[in-house]
Amino acid sequence: MRWRRREEGENPAWPGLVDVFAFTLVFIMLLGFGSASIEEVKALREEVARLQKENARLREELEECRRGPWAKIKDKLKEIHPVLRKKLSKYFMVELKENELEIVIKGTPEISFDTAQYNIDKEHDRDRLHYLSLVLAETLSGQPFYILINGTADPRTLKDRGIPPHNNIQLSALRAANVSTLLLEAAPGLGDYLRIVGLGVQGVEVLLPPEVNPDEYYRIYRIVYLIIKVDVEKFIKQTRSGQ
């Protein structure tokens, strides 16, 4: 008789087979109790207990295989999401995106930049980032995560002045780098977690009426935000080592 396998390669009959195997052995052993000595009965009972324990372990392993590694990673993100949301709710929006396996952190209001600038001059924004860094350092310490710092630029062409940034991609990367610097000022230990990403141009350039200030209109595209993701390699190592 052949069992059809599911798409992911798991045989749904396996848990049942484990039970049948273990408890058939137990049944055979119990048949010998009638003519066995006290020592033999004791040994058989110990073997029954061992087989029951082994069966429970096998069922647990099968359940873990059924769930798969991505489910475990999702659980890890679900573990820290409510912690971050509670601590950061005053200054940041913290959103768990289960399908993307990530947590997105954006300022409320968003942390934005002046036209063609990559430094954060507003004291309130600097204070928010310092607070964010302390929370991240405390929450993620020793955990298998990394943090993408995503900088963006608006769709207008940046004129090359002969010094960096030479284009919109460099400008967006410098914005992310500047935010990284501010985070490390308050929590130097975050350095192992940060990844700087220049996303370049965001949005579409449009023809604006004369009364609209283009610098203010395009501000929504000049932002920076963070994404927390699980470092799969570190996660597997920690899982195997039992941490």
Radius of gyration of the chain (CA): 28
The architecture in CATH of the region 89-241 reads: 2-Layer Sandwich (3.30)
Which among 66, 218, 227, 61 is positioned nearest to 148, based on CA atoms?
A: 227
Query: Rounded distance, CA 111 to CA 219, Å?
Result: 10
pLDDT digits (tens, 9 = 90+) for 95-107: 999 999 999 999 9
Residues in Cβ contact with 1 at an 8 Å cutoff, skipping those fewer than 6 apart: none
CA distance 227 to 230: 10
Residue 92, both tokens:
């940041």
How many angstroms from the chain centroid is the CA of residue 225? Answer: 15
Tell me what pLDDT residue 70 has.
78
Q: What is the pTM of this model?
A: 0.72
Strands, E assignment, the chain: 92-97, 102-107, 145-153, 194-201, 224-230
Longest Cα–Cα distance in the chain = 103
Q: Residue type for 154, please?
A: D
Q: What is the pLDDT of residues 181-215, one digit of tens each?
A: 999 999 999 999 999 999 999 999 999 999 999 99
The tens digit of pLDDT for each residue in 127-136 reads 999 999 999 9
The 10 Å Cβ neighbour count of residue 222 is: 25
